[in-house]
Structure 1
Amino acid sequence: MSPVVVSGMRPTGRLHLGHYHGVLKNWLRLQNSAECYFFVADWHALTTHYETPGGIAEASWDLLTEWLAVGIDPERATLFLQSWVPQHAELALLLGMLTPLSWLERVPTFKDQQEKLRERDLATYGFLGYPLLMTADILLYGAEEVPVGADQVAHLEISRELARRFNFLYGREADAPARVADAEKRMGKAWTRAYRDLVQRYRTAGDVQAVEEAQALLAEACSLSADDRALLLRELQGRGREILVEPRALLTEAARMPGLDGQKMSKSYGNTIALREDPDSVRQKLRTMPTDPARVRRQDPGDPDKCPVFALHQVYSDAQRREWVVAGCRSAGIGCLECKSPLIDSVLEELAPIRERAEFWAARPAELRDLAKQGAARARRRAEGTLDRVRAAMGLVLGDDHPR
């Protein structure tokens, strides 16, 4: 069976080449080898834009349009709006019942985003609790893999920990507490106190070092059998029968798309080229890109490593073209506009079919809406199976009267 992969994007405006090279090209590869669920994270957009939600709906349709325009295929991947699958909210609520507050407060982006977005009031439950919604997005579909960059692996860890904690609380063997108590007695009081301190460190603070210390502690406890050690380690880590799948990070190639100023392409830097940008605007942006400041005059030699234009050549040009740029720049054999000319052609060539397909879908809002409905229906069917297991494990009333 193909692995299940889940990923989403917040609808915060039109996509640019950074999104295409950094995320969407990976999605295009994954849709051919995995069971993919790609969703518009409109509820997530509200966690930071709840005061100004006016543009979220339009941006959501723009996002779907541009996914289709780059080649995401609704026959090979399930595309939907997060808010059209209410099971996301239900699972996030249920996970909230068992999530320690300290776990949410230590999520890497919590304080970082509050610092970066000081102009917004982010002292809300929605912002604090967004990792629960993110976790629900992933666990609902039994995702085995979540495509992330190396800098995002830590963000996935809370989803792994919550799946583990849920499975421990609701998938634990009935006799596990008694067996743990017997094993602790065999360890003795001092060793048991040390072990319980490690359990507390791991469960409340997510201190992974506590797991390694527990392994060493249990290995030295001569009174324990191998089965006792395995039981106590599972107890510390909170592992039980698998009800929710613990997702793995699918590390994707970090395609750093340079912007017009040489920094990473980002709307916050104002250095982007949009996927649907007018060709004349693209030409103007690329023609007026800054170059090596040492090249004041045409005859001045330059250094490609200090030129943002060369950074784009490394994305769009083959080895022969890059050699031509380096040699011509260092010797002043070519001018900056001459260097930019083939780059302009390459970018326009890449964008032309994307813009054409985007215009096709933008002119068919009813068909786009139907695709979103079909995707949401498929997503709900998959999500409901997970929630049936979750409700049963948590002792909630099931049966024919449940309003599915």
Structure 2
Amino acid sequence: MKTLVSAHNCIFGSRFLGVYASTMREWPSLQQKYQCYFVVDDVVGLVTQPVDTLTFADKAMVAAGQFVAAGVDPRKASIVLTSELPELFEIAFLLSRTVDVDEVAKRHLNTFAAHLPTAQRRKLGLAANASVAEVSYPYLGISAYALALGADFWQGGSEVAANHQYMTELAELFNREVKRSVFKSPKLLLSKLAQFPAADGTPMTYANRLSIDASEDEVRRHVDAIRDANVFAMWLEVASLTAAARAVRRSGVFGDKERDVLMSGLVSVLTPFREPRVTNRQVLRALSRGTKAAREQMQDTLRSMRAALGFSSYLSRFGVKQSRR
């Protein structure tokens, strides 16, 4: 069975409707076809929004719980927490040997954080100048866990395309250096709704988000704010109202009746997130099981990397046991 990896930060806790539309709603069917790792990346918060570090544990629990509510079966797929993957950091370090520092710095200039004014950086808990971790993790860290998990596919919306390019480059660079195929180059698996708009027609961000656990009043406010027929049709599709979406696309017209239909559909789709039946104990058990499986896979990858580099100690090579006092 081929392996699929999908990664998500937990900085904001609850997922946006855009993430559900572009990524999460496909997971129940994907876990039937692939060995899936659904990653809750709390480490990325340390380099993008460290002021909120103490909240990441709770937010990671919310995100993981919503993964289960979306239909992820922890018996079939692995829900993984990056801060519990110590192997990740050695793998990223070994991959970094092949990377030009100027190239990483150039990639950083394309990130949101690179263009924040000093006052905003300070508000997020970031230093005035970018740290090595801030510059390198989005390039090396995210690629490292996808490659280390043996990803055949990297799944998500259009926002993950850049990460896919990075991990493909890193796999090729490392394989070329060691003259053997340690890493596969994952294929990009874009979702059917890879670019899902907010109610105002612009990309869904923190500022204009609709969280999937939003109240019915909040959902109604967003539904009433939609003015564009194509946007309205896309929202109908997310609510599993395909026929209604086709009708709106054909006519280019929608009114109160169609808004009520969309509202009813969204409320139905989002009820598992607003009224979750998943307990914290179940979420912790899922994270523990999934992270254990991920660590085992990463340990295999790390052994292959070390062997390819000729980098192993006498202890690991010959099984010399250290005496216990």
Q: TM-score range by the shorter chain?
A: 0.7 to 0.9
What is aligned with 1:369? 284
Conservation of the 8 A alpha-carbon contact between 2:19 and 2:157: no
1:152: how far off? 4.1
Secondary structure of 1:244's aligned partner = coil
1:144: how far off? 1.8
What TM-score, normalized to structure 1?
Answer: 0.68
Is 1:127 the counterpart of 2:66 in the alignment?
no
Q: Deviations over 1:61-103 (max 9, x none)?
A: 1100100011011111111211111111111122223322123
Secondary structure of 2:111's aligned partner = helix
RMSD of equivalent CA atoms: 2.8
Any residues of structure 2 matched to 1:206-225 within 5 Å, and which?
none
Q: Cα 1:84–1:343, aligned 2, differ >3 Å: closer, same or farther?
A: same
1:22: how far off? 0.7
What is aligned with 1:283? 220
Aligned residues: 307
- Alpha-carbon distance in 1 for matches of 2:111, 2:48: 13
Q: Cα 1:148–1:324, aligned 2, differ >3 Å: closer, same or farther?
A: closer
Is 1:244 the counterpart of 2:163 in the alignment?
no
Select which of 312, 336, 346 maps to 2:235.
312
Q: Cα 1:251–1:279, aligned 2, differ >3 Å: closer, same or farther?
A: closer
Conservation of the 8 A alpha-carbon contact between 1:69 and 1:355: no
Secondary structure of 1:111's aligned partner = coil
Is 1:256 the counterpart of 2:176 in the alignment?
no
The letter of the residue matching 1:312 is W
- Alpha-carbon distance in 2 for matches of 1:248, 1:329: 38
What is aligned with 2:53? 53
Q: Deviations over 1:25-78 (max 9, x none)?
A: 233332111111111111112111124312211110110010001101111111
- Alpha-carbon distance in 1 for matches of 2:226, 2:11: 27
Greater C-alpha radius of gyration: 1
Secondary structure of 1:31's aligned partner = helix
1:124: how far off? 0.7
What is aligned with 2:312? 396
- Alpha-carbon distance in 2 for matches of 1:25, 1:143: 20
What is aligned with 2:210? 273
What is aligned with 2:5? 6
What is aligned with 2:164? 156
What is aligned with 2:30? 30
Select which of 270, 273, 295 maps to 1:351.
270
1:401: how far off? 5.7
Conservation of the 8 A alpha-carbon contact between 1:135 and 1:159: yes
What is aligned with 1:114? 113
The letter of the residue matching 1:103 is E
Conservation of the 8 A alpha-carbon contact between 1:6 and 1:138: yes
Q: Cα 1:117–1:392, aligned 2, differ >3 Å: closer, same or farther?
A: same
Q: Cα 1:84–1:280, aligned 2, differ >3 Å: closer, same or farther?
A: same
Q: Cα 1:337–1:126, aligned 2, differ >3 Å: closer, same or farther?
A: same
Secondary structure of 2:214's aligned partner = coil
What is aligned with 2:124? none
- Alpha-carbon distance in 2 for matches of 1:70, 1:337: 29
The letter of the residue matching 2:182 is I
Q: Structure 2: state its 5+ residue gaps.
A: 122-126
- Alpha-carbon distance in 1 for matches of 2:248, 2:186: 46
Q: Cα 1:326–1:115, aligned 2, differ >3 Å: closer, same or farther?
A: same
What TM-score, normalized to structure 2?
Answer: 0.83
Q: Cα 1:402–1:168, aligned 2, differ >3 Å: closer, same or farther?
A: farther
Select which of 134, 147, 155 maps to 2:155.
147
- Alpha-carbon distance in 1 for matches of 2:262, 2:32: 30
Identity within the alignment, % = 24
- Alpha-carbon distance in 1 for matches of 2:218, 2:186: 42
1:314: how far off? 5.7
- Alpha-carbon distance in 2 for matches of 1:129, 1:402: 36
- Alpha-carbon distance in 2 for matches of 1:161, 1:290: 40
In terms of mean alpha carbon deviation, does 246-255 or 42-51 score higher? 246-255
Q: Deviations over 1:149-208 (max 9, x none)?
A: 4564343223222222222222xxxxxxxxxxxxxxxxxxxxxxxxxxxxxxxxxxxxxx
In terms of mean alpha carbon deviation, does 63-72 or 14-23 score higher? 14-23
- Alpha-carbon distance in 1 for matches of 2:203, 2:263: 19
Conservation of the 8 A alpha-carbon contact between 2:180 and 2:308: no
